[in-house]
Amino acid sequence: MVIIHPFTIIYILLSLMTNHYYGLVFLYLFGFIHELSHVLTAKFFHIKTKEIILYPTGFKAKIDDFTHLSCIKQFLIIIAGPLSFFICLLIIKNLYYFDIISEYGKRLCNQYNLLILLFNLLPCYPLDGGKIIDLGIAQVVDEFSCRIIRIIISFFIIIGMIFIIKSLGDLMLFSFVLFAFISEFIHLKKNYILFLIKRKITKCDYKIKVLKKAKIYRFRNNYMIDGKKRILDEGEIIDKIIKKQ
């Protein structure tokens, strides 16, 4: 199901009034293909999508949680969006070949297609680039530290984006990233606890990691040896962490 956000309707009307609708059509088209690539790849791994929402900044698919999948499967779902860049290149080439768009239209489409690719590859969570880096960081640090690191990286990306705002479109993209960052920062503790609860009831086939402190590594089956030389399984470690929160 595709849902149009009320603000998007206002934005489209403003674009029609200012005669900027031509580029918007292709921007949304390529954005939809980007999200559809995520959706189809997720479906291949039996992950459902609740809905696809059209915001003023583009489409956003609400895909069910897939953090229980292996790292490579998660990576494939995430990278499917940026890889749609090449599908869109082929579409642009055929639109130009059959005279559906002009030379100017071709250049404009290529610019929008590249913009979607580069924006989504920014190492800022929850953009695709941020999620890919997050997967890499989660390989070497515990889950809570991973979430702290991705917030720090996102903060510096946001600071950098301030200096490149030149148009309304740039401002809207910046606002989207800023809102996502604020939400991630405010709900850090809540989201971490929710992750732990989901992790406790979900069985994951990962390699075993033995710890001396109560931590959870995302891609490991975690065990802990406490001060009394007892071995705690992952469920017991999670209970221990939650009690401290």
pLDDT the model gives residue 136: 96
What whole-number distance in Å separates Cα of residue 224 and Cα of residue 231?
A: 6
User: Which residue ranges in the chain fall short of pLDDT 70?
Assistant: 16, 18-22, 168
pLDDT the model gives residue 18: 66
pLDDT the model gives residue 19: 64
For the four alpha carbons of 110, 115, 120 and 123, in that order, the dihedral sign comes to positive
Q: What is the pLDDT of residues 73-127, one digit of tens each?
A: 999 999 999 999 999 999 999 999 999 999 988 999 999 999 999 999 999 998 9
C-beta pairs of 12-19 under 8 Å, 24+ apart in sequence? none
pLDDT the model gives residue 38: 97
pLDDT the model gives residue 10: 80
Reference 237, options 218, 211, 202; nearest CA is 211
pLDDT the model gives residue 166: 79
